[in-house]
Amino acid sequence: MNDQCLLTTKDYTLLETMHDDPLVRDTALLRLLRRKMASAIVMFREDLPEDIASLNSRVTFSIDGRCDTRVLTTGRMTTPVGMLLPVDTLRGLALLGLREGQTIAIDNVEGRVEVIMLNAVNYQPERMMRRSDGLPVRIGLADKPMLRLVQGVGPVCSARPPEEPDDPGPSAA
């Protein structure tokens, strides 16, 4: 088994944060964190190959022959059970940075060795950042969402740069 993993700079920073968190006291998780960080090759998001499991990727994996599909997330969210796999769990952390077809052996919470295989990366956010020719998508300033604060109103998201408003707003009513 090859322990090497490929991580984006963001994913590696997340692992560093988890490692330095005094609340992370699970020794098995800390051992796996150290193992991941020691074997990681860190790269920019746009350089990450399409078959690598990154944060927010939807992955299909098998554990001792049983298949499952989940989204790798940063924390425990309030969504239906079985959709997400947080990377602050042993299995989630084990999958982060793996390549399709790669396996990793970990000691599970019961102390048994589990062999996890990444079968497929069904969706990867970094893949969506590339054009069909494989080059990174370059977004011009006019294409980027802009955040504009309006006094007395929360943030308003716009796809165009701010212009003079045609509508004087609710204060004119």
**Residue 18 clears pLDDT 80, i.e. is over it:** yes
| Contact call for residues 106 and 92 (beta carbons, < 8 A) | no
Q: What is the mean pLDDT of residues 22-35?
A: 86
Please state, in angstroms and rounded to a whole number, the distance separating the CA atoms of residues 164 and 120.
Answer: 48
Q: What is the pLDDT of residue 128?
A: 75
158 CB neighbour count, 10 Å cutoff: 11
The one-letter amino acid code at 31 reads R
| Contact call for residues 146 and 161 (beta carbons, < 8 A) | yes
> Residue 19, SS3?
helix
Q: Which residues pair with 157 in a beta bridge?
A: 147
Which tokens belong to 72?
């790798």
6 CB neighbour count, 10 Å cutoff: 23
Of 121, 75, 113, 76, nearest in space to 95 by CA: 121
State the pTM of this model: 0.72
Q: Tell me the domains of the chain and their CATH numbers.
A: 5-129 (3.10.50.30), 141-166 (no CATH)
pLDDT tens for each residue of 50-100: 999 999 999 999 998 899 999 999 876 666 667 899 999 999 999 999 999
Please state, in angstroms and rounded to a whole number, the distance separating the CA atoms of residues 123 and 45.
Answer: 14
Place of tokens 């165009």: 160
- Quote the mean pLDDT of the chain: 80
| Contact call for residues 126 and 46 (beta carbons, < 8 A) | yes
| Contact call for residues 103 and 115 (beta carbons, < 8 A) | yes
Please state, in angstroms and rounded to a whole number, the distance separating the CA atoms of residues 27 and 17.
Answer: 16
